[in-house]
Amino acid sequence: MTHYPQIASQLFNRPLLAHRGTLEQYARAMAPRIFGGPVTFGGEWQAGLIGEPVRDVVDWEGNPTYTGPRMIGKTGVAVIEAEGALVPKGKWIGAMCDATSYEGIHAQVSDCRSNKDIRGVILEVDSFGGAVSGAFSCADAIHQLAQEKPVLAILTEHACSAAYLLASAATGSVIPKTGLAGSVGVIMLHVDYSKALDKAGVNITPIFSGARKNDYSPYEALGEEVYKKAVAEADTVRDMFIDAVAGYRKGRITADALRKTEAETFMGADAVNMGLVDEVGDPIAAANAFISEIGRKAA
């Protein structure tokens, strides 16, 4: 049996804008919960539990927790965080894992646009990415905010895949020396637990109408035709990713240059040299400089 179907539907059998290493971490941590026992990942038996609270617009019971953008004193600068796994409909996740929902970011972006007391926004990013669903509309919302008010993306170490998509939509960006940025690509996991069912003495026979209705079935190995379809879908999402970043960072990096990275991540100065990020700097120093600049413009 599959537990937590909402989480499973977001993690498996669909394209993800997530860094490969962190995708493995989430799969290792969540799969035992989802499938009710140890699973194999890369040929190794794995089991694990995680239990960090989710930062979202609602708590695990669905009660509102968001009270408006977090302001830095009376500086006129607000902070929006994009940390942990980036997920759609985050209220479904509850306190299962460390995550930020696109819904929560949307709410804060909307309030930053309408609040006249907010003159600048720091987008604090520390994430290896997450779901495709909701990522592009969230990035577009950040980009729209950046057309109206300065938005500085400060990487407090990582902005990979979907997280980089969000960071690229800001007015400017700063990365620490050891920070990572990039991973402009798409990845997908297919789960096959037919052997586990065989060992348990369980036989499942899918009955369906429509030749493609049973694609990505977890009860059998992934066929070559379905695999090719999945690769094509991943290529389509990657093209969308590349076009979006090239549009947000027009004049700083081209679609061709992004494609040639082959979803590689780049550290610090290398990310700047590639045009993925604008400058290397200490996050706290960058935040203080941004606050001072917003203050000077208001004076």
Cβ(46)–Cβ(31) below 8 Å: yes
> Could you give the residue numbers annotated as active site?
161, 213
The 3-class secondary structure across 130-196, one letter per residue, is: EECCCHHHHHHHHHHHHHHCCEEEEEEEEEECHHHHHHHCCCEEEECCCCEEECCCCECCCCCCHHH
Cα distances (angstroms) measured from residue 175 to each of 34, 155, 285? 35, 5, 11
Cβ(80)–Cβ(124) below 8 Å: yes
